[in-house]
Amino acid sequence: MRSLLVIVTAVFSAFSLWVVSLTGLVGFYEQILSGPAGWQILADIAIALTMVLVWIWRDAVACGRRFWPYALLTLALGSIGPLLYLLLGPAEAPARKATALQG
């Protein structure tokens, strides 16, 4: 699973950098906000990332990890924040180990 996360994070990060290098950061948002289809995509991504941030916050509290660095990365870079949270976390969180042992 970790090797898949490394690949997805690396490829998506490279792709994102490439897109921003072609459009510029302002051009990236201009294209997204240029019409109703882009607004819908932006709203959908905002809803999905908000749900992911809630999960990260709860998981970080349960596992004793910091939340804010990943929240800021998510707000600034989108999915790269959650991907890094998963990639840089322990292979199996302590709270999950305890639950697995009990059940």
Q: Give domain limits for the chain.
A: 2-102
Would you tell me how many other CB atoms lie within 10 Å of the CB of residue 64? 9
Residues in CB range of 78: below 8 A, 6 or more apart? 16, 45, 49
| The pLDDT of residue 28 | 82
Do the beta carbons of residue 43 and residue 49 sit within 8 Å?
no
Q: How far apart are CA 84 and CA 97, in angstroms?
A: 21
Q: Give CA–CA dist 83/9, Å, rounded.
A: 6
- The tens-digit pLDDT sequence of the chain (103 residues) is 889 999 999 999 999 999 989 998 888 888 888 999 999 999 999 999 999 999 999 999 999 999 999 999 999 899 999 999 999 998 665 555 555 455 5
Strand, coil or helix: 92? coil
